[in-house]
Amino acid sequence: MELIKNLKSNNEINIIWDFDGTLFDTYNLIATAMYTAIKENYKTEIYYDEIMALMLQSIGYSITEIAKKINTTVDDLKKNFKKYYDEIDPSQQLPYPSAREICEFIINNNGNNYINTHRSSNTLNEILEKNNFNNLIKYSVTSDNNFPSKPSPESFNHIVEKFSLNKNKTLVVGDRLLDTQGALNAGLIPVFIHENTRYVFEDDEINQEGTIIFEKLSDFYDFLKNI
C-alpha cells in the first residue's frame, strides 16, 4: 500500500487530532450538561441517548437540532448548556487510554501533535493543563481562529502551511465524518477511530479511499509502532 510505504520512509509523522471523542473522553460529560440544561431550563426532556447520537454528528449540529425540538433559539440553548458545562472540573475530562502514549511516541520520533477543534481556546487549554498534556501539543486551532467549520479544509491548511508539514506524512485522527472528510479535502491522511461512533456512521460512509480505520485508539498505537 502506497500510504504505508510513504509513512515508512522516515520517522517524521505528524498528527492533527480532533479533540472531543478522539483524544479526550468528553462526550458523556458534554451530553450530561446538555441533558441537565434542557431539563432545568425548558421544563422538558430529551432522552440522553438521543442527545448523544446528535452530538456524535457534531456538537454544533446537536445544538441546532435540539433547539428546534424544544422550541428555543440556538443562542439561548448555547448559553444554558455552557452554564452547566462550565461547572465540570477540567480534571474530570481525561485523555483516552493510549492518547498520551501516542503523542509521546510521535514526539520521540521527530514529529509533532496538533489539535483542530471547534471548542474554544480557553476550555481546551484548561483541560490540557489540568491533565499535564499541554507540553505534548505544538499548536491548536480552535473556534477562536474563526475558520469555517470542518469538513472545510481551511483550518487544516492553516496548520500545514504554518509548520510546512509534508502532507504525505500528516495524519488527521478523528471519530466523525467531518474529520475524515476535512482531511481528504486538505489532501491529508484520514484516520477514523470507530469506537464511539460505531452506531452513528455506516462502514460504507467511513470507508472512503485513503481512510485508515481503527476500532480503538490503542489499535492505532499498535499500528504506529509497527510501520
Coil, helix or strand at residue 96: coil
Domain boundaries, the chain: 2-24+95-226, 27-91
**In the structure grid, which three cell numbers stand for residue 86, read together?**
462550565
Residue 122 CA to residue 119 CA, distance in Å, equals 9
- Within 10 Å of residue 88's Cβ, how many Cβ atoms? 16
Residue 156 CA to residue 143 CA, distance in Å, equals 13
Helix axes 74-85, 59-69, angle to 10 degrees: 120
- Within 10 Å of residue 173's Cβ, how many Cβ atoms? 26
Q: Which residues of 30-44 are buried (b: 16+ CB within 10 A; e: fewer)?
A: bbbbbbbbbeebbee
State the alpha helices, DSSP H only, in the chain. Answer: 2-8, 27-42, 48-57, 59-69, 74-85, 99-108, 121-130, 154-162, 177-185, 203-206, 217-226
Q: pTM, whole model, 2 decimals?
A: 0.90
Q: Are 44 and 71 in contact (CB under 8 A)?
A: no
The domain defined by 2-24+95-226 folds into Rossmann fold (3.40.50)
- What is the model's pLDDT at position 6? 63
- What is the model's pLDDT at position 132? 95
Q: Are 212 and 194 in contact (CB under 8 A)?
A: no
Residue 208 CA to residue 204 CA, distance in Å, equals 7
Encode the chain (227 residues) as per-residue pLDDT tens digits.
555 656 665 568 999 999 999 999 999 999 999 999 999 999 888 999 999 988 887 888 899 999 999 999 999 999 999 999 999 999 899 999 999 999 999 999 999 999 999 999 999 999 999 999 999 999 999 999 999 999 999 999 999 999 999 999 999 999 988 899 999 999 999 999 987 665 555 555 566 667 888 989 999 999 998 87
Coil, helix or strand at residue 5: helix
Coil, helix or strand at residue 100: helix
Residue 161 CA to residue 105 CA, distance in Å, equals 23
